[in-house]
A and B are shown apart, each in its own frame.
Chain A
Amino acid sequence: MIKIEGVSKQFDDLLAVDNLSLDIHQGEIFGLLGPNGAGKSTIISMISGQQLPTSGSLKIAGHSPVSNQSKRLIGVAPQTTAMYEELSALDNLEFFGSLYGMSQGDLKSRSDEVLEFTGLSERAQDRVKKYSGGMKRRLNLAITMLHQPEILLLDEPTVGVDPQSRNKLFENILDLKAQGKTVLYTTHYMEEAEKLCDRVGILDHGKLLALDSVDGLIDEYGGESQLDVTTADEVITLGTQHPVAELQEILREHSNITDLKLKRPDLEQVFLHLTGRHLRD
């Protein structure tokens, strides 16, 4: 669905995206995980045709990103919520919908649908400036979905959202996947990537360091699981690649086990392994 081949983006003396190649398939939720400044937003803006790559090629369902065919296929939820604060949610939807040539009738029914979908129906007439941060995020998504794009580019959609709204948002995104939409999801929260994404690309300094399913990434780069076994007379702590085999071994030797802790590696370890840095600092 999205085909990126050898794409680089240079800003003055900064290489924001470095020779990126990537295929995002129809119907998957693809996560781009990386710290601040990794180049996530830059990639999104190139896919949505807002910026041109310095080199390389980008194709959206075979179309150039700046073509209208491609733009119609795509819905972007920018990282900074993008809407008119002085207008109501409905006014915003009406305006942005008309940019996609939606008819009045379509606009009405779709607006109702997306407001319902994001749980904003009751506040539809309120001016956006009266919304909470989480509500703005939801409206940001509602606007993105309005014209029924096949591809959704969601740039850190959970920033500043409370856990409840966040869960609601996850539900929304999984719903979209169930409808067969393709989702590109950027975040610097590994938990989100683990929870939502079918495949995850790890990005740092504009470079794609690794790409696989979450489990695949952990298996390959996560390193050892940590196993804590408490018996009547000792605590056994060990790191291992094969916790199950290790555990069976311990069980054979000790019969008086009172507690057991298994800590599997996560994407944090993957990132640490790949970059020597933690994801959050």
Chain B
Amino acid sequence: MGLLGAMVKKDLKLLFRDKMTVFFTFGFPLIFAAFFGSIFSSGGSGSAGIAVVVSDLDQSTESAAFVQRMDEVNELRVEILPEHEAREATRKGKKVAYIILPDGFGKAYGSLFSGGTPEVIIGVDPSRKAEAGMLQGVMMKLGVERFQNALSDNTSLADVLGDSIKSIEEDQNIPDDWRVLLNDYLPKMKTMLEKEEAMTATTSVTANGDNGISSALTPLDLNFEDVMINRDGPKNGYAVTIPQAMYWAMMGVVMGFGLALVQEKTLGTMTRLVAAPITRLQILGGKALGCFVALFFVMTALFAFARLVFDVPIDYPLKILLALFCVSSGFVGIMMLLAALGKTERGISSLGWGVMMVFAMFGGAMIPLFAMPEWMKAMSDLSPVKWAILSFEGATWRNFSYEELLLPCGIMLMLGIICFYAGSRMIKLEE
């Protein structure tokens, strides 16, 4: 197993046998993430329907009524925005889809046989496929309503056709060649329909039928557009609170290891370490490695939990790995410095919770960075917590490029190296 292996194993055993530490590394962060995540999420995409943006370019009574209907159904939560903003909102992942009612929608919607199928332009966030399917169903359901509207007074479609034929015959304004055509077409259709019995709305629900009669009877022409997602917001509240929770978990580990290091002295086991044929650097290196492994493990577990339970997207595992490595290194250094400065159990506790709490406050572990007032945002640069959280956010919903990740991750790595160097030089193994 080797010396370092034995030291890491021992430290991890000790760490996870301490109930307080386990609570502060797993329990508390998860409670934190779940509690605040659910608060933030209720404003986002909850269970209250698919969040869509609608842009009505037609501005007719029919289109307005259609928007009204979309707003009424439970499956959708509608916000009305100009076309450009509607597209933006979807592109940035703030809404699941945009729905555009183009010019001419109302005319087509209102008449059954003239003006063609009403067109609807839809763009869906590609990462929300499940909701896209549901959206399509809802739209078709609403589209079918135009037939129901036309047939609402208990008349059959055939009757409607009959009425149409009659009115065409009586209407003097219709050009002759039109009249001939319609008089030929409509009665044939009427006979056919009567033969096939009454049409039910459901059988006509097809997304893009475009041949023969069904073309006229397609409820809506759903024209799906590709959406290039450029998400610059978290997918849900948990995506914000999980990086914050990571910080609390790291604090748990850092405090646990800082205390354990001091306790080696107060409980006397350090005497045995110092009396053993190993170097000071090996003793401290063993501690550092143990702390690193614990941090890495705890945060990986939290990410897995976030993915599985809170549905936080993990799209860039390599970037997360990079962030985990650098942030863990940073906090190993902080642990070492804390142990050196705190000296005693009490010192570590008060220094740890005191200083780290302030860092947390200004670093975005309480108020998310993006929700901070400007002056606070400016101060946050001084808090290592900010860079840790930014590393995680960059590797998740902020979707940083590697170049962009370099700044927060590099800062954490440098911080770790500097703090470890300073801490390991200052720390006294013997009283």
Contacts and interface: CB of A to CB of B under 8 A. Distances in A.
Interface of A: 45, 48-51, 68, 71-72, 74, 76, 78, 80-87, 91, 94-96, 98-101, 104, 143
A99 B10 contact: no
Interface stretch (B11-19, B107-115, B134-142, B350-358): B11-19
B198 interface: no
Contacts of B13: 86-87, 91
Most buried by A among B9, B14, B18, B269: B269
A50 B274 contact: yes
For the side of the interface on B, what is the size category?
20 to 34
A198 B276 CA distance: 28
A165 B70 CA distance: 85
B267 A100 contact: no
B1 interface: yes
A71 B17 CA distance: 31
A87 B275 contact: no
Given A50-B275, A86-B17, 20 more contacts: A45-B430, A50-B430, A71-B277, A76-B271, A78-B271, A84-B267, A84-B269, A86-B14, A87-B10, A91-B10, A95-B7, A96-B272, A98-B1, A98-B2, A98-B6, A98-B7, A99-B3, A99-B276, A99-B278, A143-B272
Contacts of B270: 82
Contacts of A143: 272
A100 B268 contact: no
Nearest to A70: B277
Q: Which 4 A-B pairs have the closest CB atoms?
A: A98-B6, A82-B268, A99-B276, A68-B277
Interface string B259-272: 00000000111111
B345 to A, nearest CB: 15
Contact of A100 (B17, B271, B277): B277
Contacts of A80: 267-268
B64 interface: no
Contact of A48 (B1, B3, B268, B275): B275
A143 to B, nearest CB: 7
Nearest to B4: A98
Contacts of A91: 10, 13
20 contacts: A45-B271, A48-B275, A49-B274, A50-B271, A50-B275, A68-B277, A82-B267, A82-B269, A82-B270, A82-B271, A84-B267, A86-B17, A87-B10, A87-B14, A87-B17, A91-B13, A96-B272, A98-B1, A98-B5, A99-B277
Contacts of A78: 268, 271-272
Given A71-B277, A86-B17, A99 B6 contact: yes
Most buried by A among B268, B271, B273, B278: B271
Nearest to A97: B6
Contacts of A100: 276-277
Contacts of B18: 86
Contacts of A49: 274-275
Nearest to A87: B13
The B contact surface, by secondary structure, is helix
Nearest to B272: A82
A100 B270 CA distance: 15
Contacts of B5: 98
Nearest to A99: B276
Contact of B275 (A76, A84, A98, A101): A76
Contact of B6 (A68, A81, A84, A95): A95
Interface in B40-75: none
A70 to B, nearest CB: 8
Contacts of A98: 1-3, 5-7
A50 B283 CA distance: 14
A76 B13 CA distance: 24
B272 A76 contact: yes
Nearest to B429: A50
Given A80-B268, A104-B1, A99 B14 contact: no
A76 B276 CA distance: 9
A142 to B, nearest CB: 12
Contact of A84 (B2, B10, B277): B10
A83 B273 CA distance: 10
A85 B267 contact: yes
A99 B273 contact: yes
Interface string B240-263: 000000000000000000000000
Nearest to B273: A99
Contacts of A72: 277
A95 B430 CA distance: 20
A48 B268 CA distance: 14
A71 B272 CA distance: 11
A84 B14 contact: yes
Given A71-B275, A72-B277, A94 B6 contact: yes
B430 A51 contact: yes
B421 to A, nearest CB: 23
Contacts of A94: 6
Nearest to A83: B269
A98 B6 CA distance: 7
Nearest to A101: B3
Most buried by B among A78, A84, A101: A84
Contacts of B7: 95, 98
Nearest to A75: B275
B429 to A, nearest CB: 9
A85 B6 CA distance: 17
Contacts of B2: 98
Contacts of A45: 271, 430
Contacts of A96: 272, 276
Contacts of B1: 98, 104
A81 B17 CA distance: 20
Contacts of B271: 45, 50, 76, 78, 82
Interface string B270-312: 1111111110000000000000000000000000000000000
B294 to A, nearest CB: 15
A103 to B, nearest CB: 10
A32 B203 CA distance: 102
Nearest to A143: B272
A32 to B, nearest CB: 17
Most buried by A among B9, B269, B272: B272
